[in-house]
Structure 1
Amino acid sequence: MSLPRIAVDAMGGDEGVRVMVEGAALARRRHEKFNFLLMGDRAQIERALESHPGLAGAAEIRHCDRTIEGEDKPSQALRRAKGTSMGEAVAAVKRGEAGAAVSAGNTGALMAISKVALRTLPGIDRPALAALLPTLEEQDVIMLDLGANTECDARNLVQFAIMGAAYSRIVTGRERPRVRLLNIGTEAIKGTDEVQEAAQHLRDASTLAIDFDGFVEADKINRGDVDVVVTDGFSGNIALKAIEGSARFVTDLLKSAFASSFRSKVGFLVSRPATELLRHHLDPDNHNGAVFLGLNGVVVKSHGSATANGVANAVAVAARLLEEDLTARIRQDLAELGDHLMTNGSANNNKIESDAK
């Protein structure tokens, strides 16, 4: 059985066509059910496909003359989206020609284009960027928002919690995901007014299938005792980059230490299986594929620097969300929450704040 086609922005990312096509080919080798729409310069895509004959028969090329650049602001990207590889990938989802779109391009531009083209689900004011992060346990943790909305009110945070929990059920299989709000402390009195109000709404929402028990501090995100971490995009983006930077620091420190002397090099050979496991666990390619939750369609953002393996993993994320019908799960949870929170939004709810890069 084949999945709906996945539209790939073949021009996005740091290395563009070569890596995006190679990633799609790798995803196809892993799962023959994948089929693709490859958006971008036809000549470049055809040249890249020469090295991947197995993908050629499962992919249709849609020529696009233009691309969204990394330095384009969201407002600029919106004005010139039509005819670009990114804009046409999202438009294919809107037209029903593809079930999902995957891009490694400009994050803010992708969010703005996706929100305007696909619109948000009823009851969702703003889409949020969610990603999987490694933990000490077998299951990853989902964190959102990671930069799409720099300022959020309590209602936005509650909606993010609902969307993150729906995503977590797909990833973890846990019927009642453990949801926490990111805060500067776990005490009930800590946090901004928005965080405090969101916490109270989540405590009161007894019909929701979530396990909400207050707050989590940033140093506990990766411990493995929480499934969903909810925050505004400003704090989330800072926390994400701090985590990624710490991971690089640890791996670079280990490399330096093992190269410092002959004895250290011998120690490296002895401990290599453990260090390779650590490297694999911290490799961002193995957790690649951030999702714009809350849209009428599936859009997945790949790291701009992702390898072919990372792109293949982003494609796999998109496919899994299609198989599990994430949007239907979010709609159901919103219905469970009822109208008391969702009917009176703030004046800023329609503002597009896609500033992440």
Structure 2
Amino acid sequence: MYGGTTPNGNYGINVEGDVLVNQTSDGTSLNDLWSELLTLFDIENNERTAIVNLISYWHTETASIVPQSISAPDFEEASELGIPKGANSPANALRLGFTFRDFDLANRFSWKFLRSASAEQVRAVIDSIVYADRKRVTGTILHRLFNPNPERNEWGHTCYGLWNGTDGLAPLPHLGREFDASETHYHATETTRLDSLDVEMAFQQITRKGYGTKESSSQLLILANPDQADDIQGWRAGKASRPAETGEDAEDVPVSKFDFIPSIDAPPYLQEENIIGQPAPAKFGGLPVLGSYGPAYLIQSNFVPADYVAIVATNGPSSLMNAIGVRQHENAAYQGLRQISGRGPYPIVESFSQRSFGVGTRHRSAAVCLQVVDSSNYTAPPKGAFGLTS
């Protein structure tokens, strides 16, 4: 029975005058809590996790035609009667797709719960939802970065990772340097400890394609979990960057090309040599910087799985030149973390949270991912390593 009431009056449709609860047990108005929840979600939408802002860009396209190298036309010597060549947008570009999925999470605020709960109990549930959203967004973007396997979106567009040497595509030439289809930006270290050669070769792979250089106005970052960050902080120019492996001669261990230099925010320390140049800043893009190794800033993050390291060229928060593109709905009403109200006069009752987004790689040359493993084969970290269940 969907309308009216039964003879005993136990069923039917509740109207506003029938509301059983309008505040929590400590006297906080449910509508005040609803307004607070919406404000909190607005803050979350405006303050996305800093680490993903430096490697991604938000947009609404199902696929983008993105140049895969940084280059510009050149002037030619003028002749008396000749017609000059015309400048145009880069012709060598790749169609890059972006996935798109809907995610939601209910808070299950029933009127009985709200009648007995305190405002702090309600806020604790809301905080857990915001945390879950941050984990979903951050984990999805980082998983795309570390995963070489392509996907398809609902329009059939291929959503790529970085260059992987298996899809038949090659990076575009840059400043006369050619690359072939075997070029990959995913590497296994073949050792149980990270060494300086792995990172220095990643620098070369990125900068030789025009990213992470002063000319491109971008900065190289080393994103590492605490284990690998500790190793990097011990590297000194001219010295072995790790212990010798079993069966390996000590003289075969890679020697560091640079000194690790702590940032200006590091604790005081003694050293015999003088620092030439400017130390790394205390923060970059809102993230604490441990220091620098060569041209790159070292940023430690627990979001990066153990035994994985990413070297990334960033042009700053949410720049079009960043590696990962994050797709959201073209209708602004469906963007960001949203709260869907429940039925009845108090929208917080039976409400739920929702976000729609997807990912793809915008610039396949702008990062290199390393796996610290005694093997020659790179294996992408599972989604669970980023706190994702699906």
Give the TM-score normalised by structure 1: 0.31
Larger Rg: 2
Give the TM-score normalised by structure 2: 0.29
Higher normalized helix content (fraction of residues): 1
